[in-house]
Amino acid sequence: MGTFSELPGIKQWALVLLGGMIVSAALYFTVFKSQRDANAQAQQQLDTKQRENRELEAYRPKLAEMERQLATLKQQLEIERRIVPDDKQADDFIRAVDAEALKAGIELRRYTAMTVSNKDFYSEMPFELELDGPYYSMLNFFDRVGKLERIVNVSNLLVSSVRKPSDAKTKHQYNYAPGESVVATCIATTFFSHDMTPASTTASAPVKR
């Protein structure tokens, strides 16, 4: 068989064309096809993103209103947490009640922590209180407690004169000031968001004066 250079010109051109077609076909089914598939996949991803952007674009005018609603909800949540805290915060509760007693002009003699009662979504934390003072100052105290930011329910209220404090089932008798006319005991119950801790045991916590 003769060499390539010995072939007639037309056959040389035919072989060159055939070789070019073979190389082109090889490139098409390897490099070019894989690149075309990659481009098609990229275009598909681009189309998907553009479609998602068009769908989200409809919410753009509502974004400011949604942000305002979110800020309002956060503010409401913060208020609710002050009204019904996420934990007991017993010390804060006692300080708040004691401050109202001082403002009202009465003596808050004793706190006795009672058993915490767990409900479905919150817990009740009751304290037995023992207090004395002038009659109208006592009324002012209960009015102030009712207006505290944290919810406080007062129940089992017993009131007696300073001459017969045992009628109010007080635990102790004190040296009452001349202006004091009544003694009282009651249950002051506050609330906190329910946790799974065991109910507390009863403990007495006298207030130092």
CATH of the domain at 142: 3.30.70.60
Look at the chain and report how many structural domains it folds into: 2
pLDDT at 106: 94
Averaged pLDDT score across all residues of the chain: 77
User: Which domain range does residue 15 map to?
Assistant: 4-57
**Which of 79-88, 102-111, 167-176, 177-186 has the least mean pLDDT?**
79-88
- Which residue shows structure tokens 């006298």? 206
pLDDT at 123: 85
The answer to whether residues 192 and 101 belong to one domain is yes
Torsion on CA atoms 53, 57, 59, 62, rounded to nearest 10:
140
Confidence of residue 98 (pLDDT cuts 50, 70, 90): very high
What CA–CA distance (Å, rounded) separates 204 from 152?
20
The answer to whether residues 112 and 195 belong to one domain is yes
Most confident of 50-59, 98-107, 113-122: 98-107
Q: Please tell me which residue, 52 or 142, carries the higher pLDDT value.
A: 142
Task: Give residue-wise pLDDT tens across range 159-173.
Answer: 999 999 889 998 888
Q: What is the mean pLDDT of residues 20-45?
A: 67
The answer to whether residues 36 and 107 belong to one domain is no
Instruction: Establish if 72 belongs to a structural domain.
Output: no
Instruction: Establish if 25 belongs to a structural domain.
Output: yes
The answer to whether residues 161 and 115 belong to one domain is yes
Instruction: Establish if 63 belongs to a structural domain.
Output: no
The answer to whether residues 179 and 100 belong to one domain is yes
What CA–CA distance (Å, rounded) separates 111 from 127?
6
Which of 57, 77, 98 is the last residue in one of the domains?
57
